[in-house]
Structure 1
Amino acid sequence: MEFVSFAEQARRIASGQVTSAELVEESLAQIQRLDHQLNAFVAVLDERARAEAAQRDATPAAQRGPLHGVPIAIKDENDVAGLPTAYGGAAFRTPAAADSEVVRRLREAGAVIVGKTRMPEFGIWPWTETSANGYTRNPWNPMRSTAGSSGGSAAAVASGMVAAAIGGDGGGSIRLPSSWCGLYGLKCQRGRTSAAPNAHLWRSLGVIGPLTRTVEDSALIYDAITGSTPIDTWRAGPLPISLTEAYRREPGRLRIGYLTKFAGASADAETTKALLDTADALAELGHLVEPVDPKFPNVSLTFMAQTAAGVAEEAARAEYPELLERRTRTLMRLTAPLRGLAGKAERDGQAAGAAFAAAYFGDHDLLLMPTTPSPAVPVGQLDGRGALAATSKATATSGFTSIWNVLGNPAAAIPSGFSSDGLPLSVQLVGAPNGEPTLIQVSAQLERVRPWAQERPPLS
């Protein structure tokens, strides 16, 4: 059952073909079998998950939610009652008193939380490596990185330990690990999901959402977790239809632009070929597909100021600040002058997003571009690197993704085949503001003509 989709697991529970208890036992068995090789989990909630599954199985059918009984994992920056919210590091010890809003909504919809997944400290780096917890490894090749910062979630889903896991994306942190681990990863519109009990995630940059193997799974989970609270700084406007409804509808003929290079970033030959093949597939589906060269805003300072403020705000919560990584402390010291610019950076990012939407999305529906410059790189990307060297390397890795956090647009990493040495390739499809339904529809079209979810990594 480990490679049955999240949505199909929910359907099988609803039809009585399988119980939540059986699915949770299988997930826990997979974690026990694989996690010592992959290092995806911070904590596994064996007994609590079993008890929760038993409760789900005892729930009358009329009271069951859309995710009823299906196991799911949670990235370590989200509060799960009874576990520390450690942000990937060693500086936090006190268990959270309550679930975060996204976790609360998942439980309300019936999902069973089986554990928390690893991330680099505060999600700073696009590789899931920490001094405290070592490397998280890629199921397609354990000597390769999962990317980050939602690397533990990606490894857990790609290997079949769970069918879906929650991540967060402040500069590419859902899309980058989805790219390197062969998953579907949609970064939603700014404000679509709640950061509560916090007011925001890295100021205006971050959103919370799932990493999945199928498009339907992402649509289903987003429908369950979408919504804001009075605490949230950012709130997206309502969508005209649910993402599950969008998944079931054809999009009509769209105008899609594509590019292979952006702001000095370029992809390797195999990634570029995969993108051009995807453009051809979209044209064969009936869309008008054309090369484009939009005028992009320069958002480097806007991104850095908000990142500096976001990391510092999370680090200020540390119970044992002396246990923060040296690289983190150095980075905070070096970027301290930028923190005061965060408010202006938020406003500048919103203005740039509106201007780009008017200029490009006024006559195009979608933009196709690379997700990552290459397939997964070796583990150990942070070894021997201080804050400045690591930042320079990280900027190159997230060169195609971070702009969409500044501008706020939804963007999806979509599997697009494999490299010559068997590593997943990915393309990124970017939507207009509040354009998640269109992204889901076109992603589903690509999934039907170029299916990927049946592929299994060696460690699975």
Structure 2
Amino acid sequence: MEDVFATNDALAVAELVRSRQIGAKELLDATLVRLREANDRLNAITDFYEGDLLERSIAAAGDGQFQGIPFVVKQLMADCAGAPTTVGSRFFAKEPVAAQDSAAVARMRRAGLVIVGRSNTSEFGLAPTTEPAFGGATVNPWRVDLSPGGSSGGSAAIVAARALAMAHATDGGGSIRIPASLCGLFGLKPSRGRISLAPIGETLAGAGAQLCVSISVRDSAALLDALAGGEPGDPYGAPEARGSFLDATRRAPGRLRVAFLRKPVGWDSMDPVLIAAVERTAKRLEALGHHVEEAAPDYDAAAAGTAFGTVMCANTLTNIQVRANGRVPGPRDLEPVTQLHAEQGSRISAHDYIRAVQVFHRTGRQLGAFFEGFDILLSPTIARTSLPLGTVRMDGSLETYEEGLAPMVAFTSVCNAAGVPAMSVPLEWTDDGLPIGMHFVARYGAEATLLSLAAQLEQAHPWRDRRPPG
């Protein structure tokens, strides 16, 4: 039972449980020990479920593909009945307590997952790092002076340490893909509307999505199968998939038309290390039979960034007010940048907000036109090679925060604005052994194309045995 997730992904361990080679209780008990040991080093899990909450998780787990697999849910965008969702904030540490599971969490349980706790996040997911004032910073298992990224850094750190094979993650501007890149994991952001966010309506004008970070492509694909689909009244719905996403990982992607970027749209230059990583990945794709050429989509990156800021600030204010249910945050209840977001949100007019949403929609159409000529857009996931702790600060001005934010979301956030699927794949490494995620984007609804390509790359250039030291 020791290090069962060191080489086995979640589907493989679930098969061991189904075939009774491992007992479900034995797996749970051993995993909880490993999780606590890893958490002492990483500070990745904010709450371990015990007593009644844990017993309810065990009882609620179905007999799906992930039967008996322990799992943690991020403290953002997903509610677990009987406990608060803190959104990484001191103000919401104890209330409100969720009356019921969110739709995605209910589906996780039906898939067989045993929810054993919640993973750390930046406050309201605003930072692409995981260093909340409430609960403290999560560190990267590859090097403890580095951040695992964010805002799904708690989940990524615990999976990178192989204490779990996969963990829940959410993505409003890159928060699945950024930590996947920095932790050497696979991370897929689904299309807008692919997984219901019920009971909430939409997040960030449709920019928000959820799934997981994982050590294997097929785990993410199988979880997408389990979570995909709408709930009555959902404001968005992705095109129905042809067959299962897991099946997509078992078939060749065919000859894809791949465009690659040497720098973010609207930027003048990029780190030569990242340019070289893109070029090597492009050559790997050519060797696999794909058509590859340099090309960039035509959209206004500055306008999209401004629109994102407008949507983010307005949503921060509204989410605080709705969740607070009449309570008013005190002077130390919110981090300074969160408070500044909320204050700026209070000054945004309906006209400003609608214009921002229109920019989202225009950007989506521009990317849609680009994907008439290409199947895939390749770039690095982030525009830097590592993220030292303290780089993106939530305790200063908005200007300082935005300077740290910009390189982290230079490739990722446009996918959220446009609603298209995108993934980070751990294909490259720095000279000193740190992971560099490569970013792949596809047209709206084309998760199967991404997963098929990812599985092909995973087979040709496997990464699972590359683990953090210690």
Q: What TM-score bracket applies, with the shorter chain setting the length? A: over 0.9
Worse-matched range after superposition: 383-392 or 120-129 = 383-392
Letter in 2 for 1:9: V
Q: Residue 426 of structure 2 aligns to a residue in which SS?
A: strand
Of residues 219, 237, 240, the one that matches 1:238 is: 240
| Residues 197 and 231 in structure 1, CA contact (< 8 A), matched pair in contact too | no
Give the superposition deviation at 1:302.
Answer: 2.2
Q: How does 1:217-366 map to 2 (within 5 A)?
A: 217-262=219-264, 263-264=266-267, 266-298=269-301, 299-316=304-321, 317-318=323-324, 319=327, 321-322=329-330, 323-338=333-348, 340=350, 341-358=352-369, 360-366=370-376
> CA separation in 1, counterparts of 2:216 and 2:451?
10
Give the superposition deviation at 1:50.
Answer: 5.8
Worse-matched range after superposition: 79-88 or 335-344 = 335-344
* Aligned twin of 1:145: 147
> CA separation in 2, counterparts of 1:74 and 1:132?
17
Letter in 2 for 1:373: A
| Residues 138 and 145 in structure 1, CA contact (< 8 A), matched pair in contact too | yes
> CA separation in 2, counterparts of 1:425 and 1:251?
23
| Residues 91 and 321 in structure 1, CA contact (< 8 A), matched pair in contact too | yes
* Aligned twin of 1:457: 468
Where structure 1 has 5 or more consecutive residues not aligned to the other structure, the ranges are none
* Aligned twin of 1:376: 386
> CA separation in 1, counterparts of 2:344 and 2:358?
23
Letter in 2 for 1:309: A
Residues 1:349 and 1:53: Cα distance change in structure 2 (over 3 Å): closer
Letter in 2 for 1:32: R
Letter in 2 for 1:87: V
| Residues 171 and 402 in structure 1, CA contact (< 8 A), matched pair in contact too | yes
* Aligned twin of 1:135: 137
| Residues 303 and 345 in structure 1, CA contact (< 8 A), matched pair in contact too | yes
Runs of 4+ in 1 over 6 A off after TM superposition: none
> CA separation in 2, counterparts of 1:55 and 1:336?
44
| Residues 81 and 101 in structure 2, CA contact (< 8 A), matched pair in contact too | yes
| Residues 166 and 212 in structure 2, CA contact (< 8 A), matched pair in contact too | yes
Residues 1:53 and 1:192: Cα distance change in structure 2 (over 3 Å): closer
Q: How does 1:43-442 map to 2 (within 5 A)?
A: 43-47=47-51, 51=55, 55=59, 64-77=63-76, 78-92=78-92, 93-94=94-95, 95-262=97-264, 263-264=266-267, 266-298=269-301, 299-316=304-321, 317-318=323-324, 319=327, 321-322=329-330, 323-338=333-348, 340=350, 341-358=352-369, 360-381=370-391, 382=393, 385-442=396-453
Residues 1:444 and 1:145: Cα distance change in structure 2 (over 3 Å): same
Give the superposition deviation at 1:337.
Answer: 3.1
* Aligned twin of 2:39: 35
Letter in 1 for 2:82: G
Letter in 2 for 1:20: A
> CA separation in 2, counterparts of 1:391 and 1:294?
24
Give the superposition deviation at 1:231.
Answer: 4.3
Give the superposition deviation at 1:229.
Answer: 1.3
What's the C-alpha RMSD, in Å, of the aligned pairs? 1.9
Letter in 2 for 1:6: A
TM-score computed with the length of structure 2 as normaliser: 0.92
| Residues 186 and 413 in structure 1, CA contact (< 8 A), matched pair in contact too | yes
> CA separation in 1, counterparts of 2:146 and 2:55?
36
Worse-matched range after superposition: 261-270 or 217-226 = 261-270
Worse-matched range after superposition: 166-175 or 196-205 = 196-205
Letter in 2 for 1:89: S
Of residues 9, 15, 21, the one that matches 1:11 is: 15
Residues 1:102 and 1:152: Cα distance change in structure 2 (over 3 Å): same
Give the superposition deviation at 1:148.
Answer: 0.7
Residues 1:223 and 1:266: Cα distance change in structure 2 (over 3 Å): farther
Residue deviations 1:393-420 (CA, integer Å, cap 9, x gap): 2122211111111111100001023212
Of residues 27, 30, 41, the one that matches 1:26 is: 30
> CA separation in 2, counterparts of 1:363 and 1:336?
41
> CA separation in 2, counterparts of 1:320 and 1:152?
28
Give the superposition deviation at 1:118.
Answer: 0.6
Letter in 2 for 1:15: S
Residues 1:146 and 1:249: Cα distance change in structure 2 (over 3 Å): same
Residue deviations 1:173-225 (CA, integer Å, cap 9, x gap): 00001010111000000111111121112221110111111100100101101
Give the superposition deviation at 1:390.
Answer: 0.8
Residues 1:197 and 1:176: Cα distance change in structure 2 (over 3 Å): same
Give the superposition deviation at 1:49.
Answer: 7.3
Give the superposition deviation at 1:339.
Answer: 5.7
Letter in 2 for 1:258: F
> CA separation in 2, counterparts of 1:222 and 1:280?
29
| Residues 179 and 426 in structure 1, CA contact (< 8 A), matched pair in contact too | yes
Worse-matched range after superposition: 303-312 or 258-267 = 258-267
> CA separation in 1, counterparts of 2:438 and 2:181?
8
Letter in 2 for 1:38: L
**Matched residue count:** 453
| Residues 49 and 112 in structure 1, CA contact (< 8 A), matched pair in contact too | no
Where structure 2 has 5 or more consecutive residues not aligned to the other structure, the ranges are none
TM-score computed with the length of structure 1 as normaliser: 0.94
